């Protein structure tokens, strides 16, 4: 079923944007080619053909037409990664003879020297005979094509090869970003670099660099050195480092949009410059998480003079055409309490804080315009009088974005892409900047530029940030690049697992650091039982972590919740096995063996975990979880026994087992939650109803079990 | 038994250097304290007392006496690591009130501004009541003490704590180095930085930076930019980066000694400057491994003029008092073939190539002296006329070093510390720069400055280098710091495993990257069977890798051999279990359960590995190994069955099983070898001789089995 579905998807894709591609329904496009690919994001049009280009020591790349240092460096990186994946000795450097090269990259021109919004990122890949042809109008297009080519690499007994294929590809949205908040927790340049590599691999094209916050001012200002000196704990980027990051991003076709979040979220500015604040100060760097009162004073001319000098300095440092001014979550409490601000408002006829912020933004806008920068800010900046040259960045949602579009504003979506909230990839994947039911006109849709995943950094360290970004952000990258009909969640997860392993070659630590944290907590290499536990728990969602496990920016990020992954693969597998078992009524054999193995592991991990947690106080949080884990294993095994024996449990059994689930679902100080409870409830209900299985059709029985499991009263 | 031995060791230590410490034999020093510690290197004198200092949120460090930025930064790093290990929120920064601080660091003075040979690195730690007192004459001494303090951290059900203890510590040798060859394979600055952190954790104090080789010239020269531009494939350190690394090392009390290896090993110099060579050229960067002919021409004045300019530039860049000029493995073949060189030698009465190199070194020496640098070079530089201010770096061995010492030369040892040759830590640990049987006088011994582990880089990438250095180099660090009586191998391995986990907090990747490589080869997360295989194979020793698996500097370093660890813990465990079983005659039960589990895993991994290797061509090398692995598991299980049943195998069984071992011991294209064959032979012989077990005393029987297993004829 799955394979057929995937095939259908390709065929549909082939039609979507390039009518010259033959209709899938008419032609057996996939004969001889692989029926499953690992491409992510899925290209606009893919047609697999007969044949393959084999990877061996003679492998080499040549360029035709335009070539430059950026393209050549990208080809070198491509060769290194290909070498690493295949274990074939491939010689670095370009081939001079295009006819003899395995890959020919043909660029029409350099494109923008500095990556720019709307740059042509399209490319075509044609693999046939013994050669790969990559054709692109710009170097950035070629870069995107090289990433696709690497993802095409597959192997069989005979070796590694690129399957014969024709691909025509271009992004659906122009703005495909990742916001990294390095203010709440600082990230050294190498963390940004490896994440830029990850972004390039997934064809993301904007690094939104959230540089200032209540908790840190992280950019060197030569004009106002007290900003970074007093507002950063010494953890800031020098201008040299910033230039290096921008160049690193440029090499990968990625724009860097800086954000200076004002007038709220600005405590760290005020540590060195209390005179900018709306209350007298003094101020200290904020250590908590949340929304804080300190805000710049929008009524004083010297504040604008300061901002003009500062933003002019920053405008020269950051070459992108856009500058993000934040503008979010300013509640104006300092403004309310400041009599001077109140009389200013009265004087100017500014009726409320929203209007005052609109006034502030108007002033900012003039400064940005002087510097040839376009303004972008969060939803809140959309106030009467805001010129439509401004871009709205929506944390509110697609509706707010659509409303803005109707008013003529460009916008990007982040609502639904808050990767800090620990939701599974599937949930982000389902969020479309232009939902299928959108009522926007063709012209209004053009205002929806794209979206950004947001890595807010209350609870990430350099050791854990990668595992919060990847691999889930790849699903968002696909949403922003691929045609909207690409929505098969199972196939997304299948490809995501492959991509996740590939991302490791870029130095990303999202997989490898899990064990590092577990070993540190255990103080040893014996982490088997911890891995069993971690496999089926996830960090709690939304903002519950801060509630269940209170902490500050100075707290360690080396606990169980930091090791846990927001998207449990084992829980997905468990859910599939349970569904398989229930669909197998009344035989109940299909998944029983594997299920029993998994459940036994849970049950057996409990005593080892308890012992571990008593030895290692940093694992104290594991104790309550261990008990639940053992109980869940036990409940599952009992359910399986009843099911496979076809015997109903005693009457009181049901309630007793449901209470185990309820116990396991209680909030815990670990800020972790079990990701298997829904499936476990199905299993329990199935056991209770096992006798009915012989009295109904399998489909009816399954339906009844699922309904009862979904009903909270049962 | 082990614990008692360890206790005895402490007690002896306490006496060795500080006579004021009471005699261990007289006093129950360890009452109430932990009998096992994880200190590495073992301090000179340790006395555990009653009590503990608990780690909680009030934890803080204050300084007394001298303080400076370097000390404060070290304390911040200490706090961060403590926070990470304990999951306790510890506030950064220094406490101002020493009386209320948990740790008081009392330094007498700054010590050398730049770390220098012979700087006082001693410290004393006194933990009692509610406070830790760290007293040191220099900041570097305090840095060493902070590392010891972190290693003292232990925990029980009640939380983390430092046990009450008195430690007086100082290094046995002044020069405790790690050579990193970044020439054969370039390593980016962050790799050096994390390894400097690892060095500091193990109290190593010299980074020997091997900067030039046939395969790469990796330092920016502003005087002769063609050197790095043409000799490095673009992979070199800018002078800014070099300064940054030196400062990073200085912060950690580590000297940086640069090596410019001449006149041989110099191909990369000649790519941009063929005029320096002893043959006309042109030259290209060497891609092979081995000893190559190109050498500087020692007969021409312009060569010395060049070297003077270059080395003067480097002398200003590197602040250390020593400069390493290599001088090794120049076979002089180019010299033999160059008529001008030959006539120069005749003219000057230089009788052979050794003498010519001595002449070259004399000239170099003058250049170094002008720059206030002392010369250090490999054994070969010790030629008549060499002034005794020169330091001899011995790859030849302790005898060569002792001979040099008798002649008045300082020396350091690297023979026995070649960590690139894949020997187990125990072997390096056994190598003492001044062996117990040394005939050197007290005064001559002072010339033995210490030693250096050498990370030659023919087969390491940034992804694998950490696993070649760590944790084994920690054993060498202990040899160079701790008293010579610290030689308990079992206890070393126990502590090494703890240290290995702790090293990960510094970003070192020696453990975490193993799975990364396996996942890449498998192209998936399903690497269980690969891990079983990897657990008992090791890279082949000495220079056999290059023979069994020919490759160049351009070859990928992403194979099974790159994932394999040079010191198999599972093989050590297997050996212990087999020895336990044999010592248990005639019952044979002690280790049978665990042994059977391990052997079953080997046997069962075979089919999965074969399937994997057929899917992933980069795992083709696993196929032959898989067969052996399965067979070894089978042989072991059969042996166990005979042993536990007390039944002898049929006559032909012995030869058949030994032939399985012989098959498994054959060289393979994977350049991997099984680390369990010796133990497996014992198991087979034990099974063959099982009937005899009831006829002899257990001790006699064991002796017989071990003798027969050790005899190749059996």
pLDDT digits (tens, 9 = 90+) for A360-388: 999 999 999 999 999 999 999 999 889 99
Distance between B479 CA and the closest CA of chain A, angstroms: 23
Instruction: Report whether CATH 1.20.58 matches the domain A513-710.
Output: yes
CB B331 within 8 A of CB B383: no
Q: B525 vs A86: CB contact, 8 Å cut-off?
A: no
Please state the φ and ψ torsions of residue B232, each to the nearest 5 degrees. -135, 0
Angle at B698 (CA atoms; ends B694, B701), nearest 5 degrees: 80
Is A520 in contact with B556 (Cβ distance < 8 A)? no
Sort out which chain A residues have CB atoms less than 8 A from B87's CB and list them: 521, 556, 558-559, 617-618
A residues 227..266 contacting B (CB < 8 A): 233
Instruction: Look at residue B7 in the predicted model and tell me its pLDDT.
Output: 39
A89 to B552: CB separation less than 8 angstroms, yes or no: yes
Helix (H, G, I), strand (E, B) or coil at A137: coil
- Provide, as residue numbers in chain A, all residues whose Cβ is less than 8 Å from the Cβ of B159: 617
- Specify whether the CB–CB gap between A378 and A326 falls below 8 A: yes
Q: Does A84 touch chain B (CB under 8 A)?
A: yes
Kindly report the pTM of this predicted structure.
0.94
Tokens found for residue A626:
């261990």
Between the two ends of chain B, the Cα-to-Cα distance in Å is: 33
B2 shares contact with chain A (CB less than 8 Å): no
Does residue A559 sit at the B interface (CB-CB below 8 Å)? yes
Which of A78, A79, A83, A84 to mutate to probe the B interface, most B CBs <10 Å?
A84
Are A89 and B233 in contact (CB < 8 Å)? no
Q: What is the DSSP string of B649-669?
A: PPTTHHHHHHHHHHHHTS--T
Judged by CB atoms closer than 8 Å, whether chains meet at B86 and A618 is answered as yes
pLDDT digits (tens, 9 = 90+) for A190-229: 999 999 999 999 999 999 999 999 999 999 999 999 999 9
ipTM (interface pTM): 0.93
Provide, as residue numbers in chain B, all residues whose Cβ is less than 8 Å from the Cβ of A84: 520, 556, 558
CA distances from B242 to A239, A463, B193 (A): 19, 26, 11
- Report whether A341 contacts A278 (CB < 8 A): yes
Residues of chain B with confidence (pLDDT) below 70: 1-35, 712-714
**Would you state the pLDDT for residue A238?**
98
User: What backbone torsions phi and psi does residue A225 show, to the nearest 5 degrees?
Assistant: -60, -20
**A142 C-beta neighbours (distance < 10 Å), count:** 28
**How many C-beta atoms surround the C-beta of residue A581 within 10 A?**
25
Closest-CA residue of chain B to A527:
B501
User: Tokens 């499936």 label which residue?
Assistant: A679
Domain B175-486: which CATH class? alpha beta
Please judge whether A524 and B498 are an interchain contact, meaning their C-beta atoms are less than 8 angstroms apart. yes
Calculate how close chain A gets to B161, using CA atoms only, in Å.
Answer: 11
Interface of B with A in 568-587 (CB under 8 A): none
Residue pair A244/A196 in contact by the 8 Å Cβ criterion: no
Residue A553: closest CA among chain B residues belongs to which residue? B89
Cα nearest neighbour of A515 on chain B: B512
- Interchain CB contacts (distance < 8 Å): A and B: 133
Using CB atoms, which residue from B84, B501, B511 is nearest to A558?
B84
Q: Residues in chain A with pLDDT < 70? A: 1-35, 712-714
**Chain A touched by B604 (CB under 8 Å):** no
Q: Which residues of A touch B155 (CB under 8 A)?
A: 523, 615-618
- Residues of B numbered 361-400 whose beta carbons fall under 8 angstroms of chain A's beta carbons: which are they? none
Give the helix/strand (H/E) hosting A256.
Answer: strand A255-259
The span from the CA of A82 to the CA of A7, in Å, is 27
SS3 content of chain A, % helix, strand, coil (to 5): 45, 15, 40
| Cα A590 to chain centroid, rounded | 35
Orientation angle between helical segments B569-583 and B592-615, nearest 10 degrees: 150
For residue A504, give how far its alpha carbon lies from the nearest alpha carbon of chain B (Å).
7
Asked if A319 and A246 touch (Cβ cutoff 8 Å), the reply is: yes
Q: How far B93 CA lies from chain A's nearest CA (Å)?
A: 10
Of B85, B155, B617, the CB nearest to A520: B85
| Chain B CB within 8 Å of residue A662 CB | no
Strands of A303-430 (E only): list them. Answer: 322-324, 374-378, 391-394, 410-413
For residue A472, the distance in angstroms to the closest alpha carbon of chain B comes to: 16
Fold of A205-385: TIM Barrel (3.20.20)
Residue A702: name the closest of A590, A711, A632, A692 by CA.
A692
In SS3 terms, B272-327 reads as HCHHHECCCCCCCCCCCCCCCCCCECCCCHHHHHHHHHHHHHHHHHCCCCEEECCC
Domain ranges (residues) in chain A: 2-169, 205-385, 513-710
Would an 8 Å CB–CB cutoff place B92 in contact with chain A?
Answer: yes
Please name the residue that has the structure tokens 């002899």.
Answer: B696
What pLDDT is recorded for position B713? Answer: 58
Asked if A155's CB is within 8 angstroms of B523's CB, the reply is yes
Q: B525 to chain A nearest CA, in Å?
A: 7
What single-letter DSSP state applies at residue A94? B
From A511, A516, A556, residue closest to B87, measured CB to CB: A556
Confidence (pLDDT) at A231: 98
Tell me the β-bridge partners of B352. none
State whether residue B517 sits within 8 Å of chain A by CB: no
Does the beta carbon of B57 lie under 8 angstroms from any beta carbon of chain A? no
CATH domain A2-169 topology: Chitobiase; domain 2 (3.30.379)
Contact status of A15 with chain B (Cβ, < 8 Å): no
Cβ neighbours for B9, distance < 8 A, ≥ 6 positions apart: B42, B485, B486, B488, B491
Does B459 contact chain A (CB < 8 Å)?
Answer: no
Contact A558 B87 (CB under 8 A): yes
Nearest to A170 by CA among A133, A211, A105, A125: A125
Contact A89 B524 (CB under 8 A): no
Please answer yes or no on whether A86 and B233 come within 8 Å at the CB atom.
Answer: no
Do the Cβ atoms of A87 and B618 come within 8 Å?
Answer: yes
């Amino acid at each position: 079923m799955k394979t057929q579905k995937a095939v259908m998807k390709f065929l549909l894709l082939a039609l979507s944007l390039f009518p010259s591609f033959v209709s899938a329904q008419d032609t057996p496009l996939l004969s001889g080619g692989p029926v499953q690919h690992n491409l992510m994001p899925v290209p606009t049009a893919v047609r697999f053909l007969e044949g393959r280009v084999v990877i061996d020591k003679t492998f080499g790349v040549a360029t035709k037409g335009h070539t430059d240092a950026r393209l050549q460096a990208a080809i070198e990186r491509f060769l290194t990664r290909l070498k690493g994946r295949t274990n074939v000795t491939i010689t670095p450097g370009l081939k001079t003879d295009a006819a003899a090269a395995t890959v020919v990259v043909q660029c029409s021109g350099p494109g923008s020297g500095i990556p720019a919004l709307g740059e042509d990122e399209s490319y075509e890949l044609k693999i046939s005979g013994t050669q790969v042809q990559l054709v692109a109008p710009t170097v950035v297009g070629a870069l995107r094509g090289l990433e696709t080519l690497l993802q095409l690499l597959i192997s069989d007994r005979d070796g590694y090869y690129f399957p014969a294929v024709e691909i025509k590809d271009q992004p659906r949205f122009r703005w495909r970003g990742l916001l990294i908040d390095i203010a709440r927790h600082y990230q050294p340049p190498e963390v940004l670099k490896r994440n830029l590599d990850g972004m390039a691999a997934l064809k993301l094209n904007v690094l939104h660099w959230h540089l200032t916050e209540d908790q840190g001012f992280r950019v060197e200002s030569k004009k106002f050195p007290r900003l970074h000196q007093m507002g950063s704990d010494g953890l800031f980027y020098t201008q040299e480092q910033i230039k290096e990051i921008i160049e690193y991003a440029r090499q990968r076709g990625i724009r860097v949009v800086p954000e200076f979040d004002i007038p709220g979220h600005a405590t760290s500015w005020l540590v060195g410059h209390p005179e900018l604040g709306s209350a007298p100060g003094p101020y200290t760097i904020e250590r908590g998480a949340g929304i804080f009162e300190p805000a710049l004073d929008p009524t004083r001319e010297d504040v604008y003079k300061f901002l003009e000098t500062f933003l002019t300095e920053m405008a020269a440092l950051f070459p992108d055409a856009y500058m993000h001014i934040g503008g979010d979550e300013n509640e104006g409490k300092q403004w309310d309490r400041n009599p001077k601000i109140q009389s200013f408002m009265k004087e100017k006829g500014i009726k409320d804080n929203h209007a005052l912020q609109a006034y502030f933004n108007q002033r900012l806008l003039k400064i940005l315009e002087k510097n040839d920068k376009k303004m972008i800010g969060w939803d809140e900046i959309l106030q009467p009088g805001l010129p439509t040259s401004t871009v709205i960045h929506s944390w509110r949602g697609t509706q707010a974005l659509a409303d803005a579009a109707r008013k003529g504003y460009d916008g990007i979506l982040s609502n639904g892409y808050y990767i800090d909230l620990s939701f599974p990839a599937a949930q982000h994947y389902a969020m479309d900047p232009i939902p299928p039911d959108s009522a926007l006109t063709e012209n209004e849709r053009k205002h929806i530029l794209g979206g950004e995943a947001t890595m807010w950094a209350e609870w990430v360290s350099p050791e854990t940030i990668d595992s919060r970004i990847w691999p889930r952000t790849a699903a968002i990258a696909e949403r922003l690049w691929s045609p909207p009909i690409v929505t098969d969640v199972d196939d997304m997860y299948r490809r995501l697992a492959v991509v996740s392993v590939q991302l490791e070659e870029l130095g990303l630590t999202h997989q490898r650091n899990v064990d590092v944290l577990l070993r540190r907590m255990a103080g040893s290499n014996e982490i088997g039982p911890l891995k069993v536990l971690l496999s089926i728990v996830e960090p709690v969602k939304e903002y519950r972590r801060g509630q269940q496990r209170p902490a500050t920016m100075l707290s360690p990020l080396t606990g169980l919740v930091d090791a846990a992954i927001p998207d449990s693969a084992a829980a997905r597998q468990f859910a599939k096995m349970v569904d398989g078992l229930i669909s197998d009524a009344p035989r109940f054999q299909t998944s029983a063996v594997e299920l029993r193995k998994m459940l036994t592991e849970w049950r057996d991990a409990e005593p080892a975990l308890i012992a571990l947690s008593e030895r290692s106080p940093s694992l104290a949080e594991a104790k309550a979880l261990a008990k639940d884990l053992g109980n869940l294993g036990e409940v599952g095994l009992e359910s399986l026994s009843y099911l496979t024996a076809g015997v109903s449990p005693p009457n009181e059994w049901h309630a007793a087992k449901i209470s185990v689930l309820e116990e396991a679902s209680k909030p815990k100080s670990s800020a972790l939650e079990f990701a298997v409870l829904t499936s476990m409830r199905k299993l329990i209900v199935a056991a209770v109803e096992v006798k009915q299985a012989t009295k109904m059709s399998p489909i009816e029985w399954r339906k009844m079990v699922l309904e009862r499991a979904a009903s909270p009263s049962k």
